A and B are shown apart, each in its own frame.
Chain A
Amino acid sequence: GNSVTQMEGPVTLSEEAFLTINCTYTATGYPSLFWYVQYPGEGLQLLLKATKADDKGSNKGFEATYRKETTSFHLEKGSVQVSDSAVYFCALRDPYNFNKFYFGSGTKLNVKP
């Protein structure tokens, strides 16, 4: 079956620190992979995505590389800001049932000034 596993939070960092949030997946075939961000009181927003092995998704200074060999899609940012404080969700799209997306449980990031 399909599933996504994320590192548990909360992750607390100081401003300008380096961020890594780990995500691994289990899937049949080769799914598209996504990172979504959820700010307090808001719905999920797509942060970045990658559709095939070795693709790198990037947006707003965040990056993630689709690693087929390790079935991973870790989120990184070189220098976090207080405004990055949110919950981050890793997700995959079932390659055989396009209507189904599977989300991880989310990782809360707190960035302190």
Chain B
Amino acid sequence: ETGVTQSPTHLIKTRGQQVTLRCSSQSGHNTVSWYQQALGQGPQFIFQYYREEENGRGNFPPRFSGLQFPNYSSELNVNALELDDSALYLCASSESILGETQYFGPGTRLLVL
């Protein structure tokens, strides 16, 4: 059974640019959540996707957007990057929208200069 994978592992961008991060969920999981983890902090919920539809959003601006594909893989897009967007971005998948157990990927570390 393949776990949650994310790409790329590291990324450096400059302020104002756009970035796309990718996530492949664990086999059989139809729900994907994205989190931002700033240095020394816990993960903060960005949004969740279930069967290709956004299902809830945290306190993040619209320049954070996402997609989920029919195979349940997902993308996180961030437009107009700001310095404060520098963080570890985590993807987590679960078996269903009601699933309590989330399986996290290793994350993508984004540095905005």
Interface residues of A (CB under 8 A from B): 4, 32, 34, 36, 41-46, 49, 51, 89, 91, 93, 97-106
The answer to the question of B19 belonging to the interface, with a C-beta cut-off of 8 Å to chain A, is: no
Q: Shortest distance in angstroms between B24's beta carbon and chain A's nearest beta carbon?
A: 13
Docked complex: B33-55 residues within 8 A CB-CB of A: 33, 35, 40-45, 48, 50, 55
A41 to B88, CA, bound (A): 11
Contact of B42 among A4, A42, A45 (CB under 8 A): A4
**Could you say which residues of chain A place their CB within 8 Å of the CB of B45?**
99-102
**Could you say which residues of chain B place their CB within 8 Å of the CB of A51?**
100
Contact of A43 among B42, B101, B107 (CB under 8 A): B107
Is there an interface contact between B106 and A100, defined as CB atoms closer than 8 Å? no
**Could you say which residues of chain A place their CB within 8 Å of the CB of B106?**
41-43
| Other contacts beyond A44-B104, A101-B33, A106-B42: 8, CB < 8 A | A34-B100, A43-B4, A43-B92, A99-B48, A99-B56, A103-B35, A103-B42, A104-B42
The answer to the question of B8 belonging to the interface, with a C-beta cut-off of 8 Å to chain A, is: no
A93 to B45, CA, bound (A): 11
- Give chain B's interface residue range (CB within 8 Å of chain A): 20 to 34
Give 28 A-B contacts (CB < 8 Å), ordered by A residue: A34-B100, A42-B106, A43-B92, A43-B105, A43-B106, A44-B90, A44-B92, A46-B101, A49-B100, A49-B101, A89-B42, A93-B100, A97-B56, A98-B97, A99-B33, A99-B48, A99-B50, A99-B97, A100-B45, A101-B43, A101-B45, A102-B45, A103-B35, A103-B44, A105-B40, A105-B41, A106-B40, A106-B42
The answer to the question of B16 belonging to the interface, with a C-beta cut-off of 8 Å to chain A, is: no
Q: Which of B42, B48, B50 has the most CB of A within 10 A?
A: B42
The answer to the question of B65 belonging to the interface, with a C-beta cut-off of 8 Å to chain A, is: no
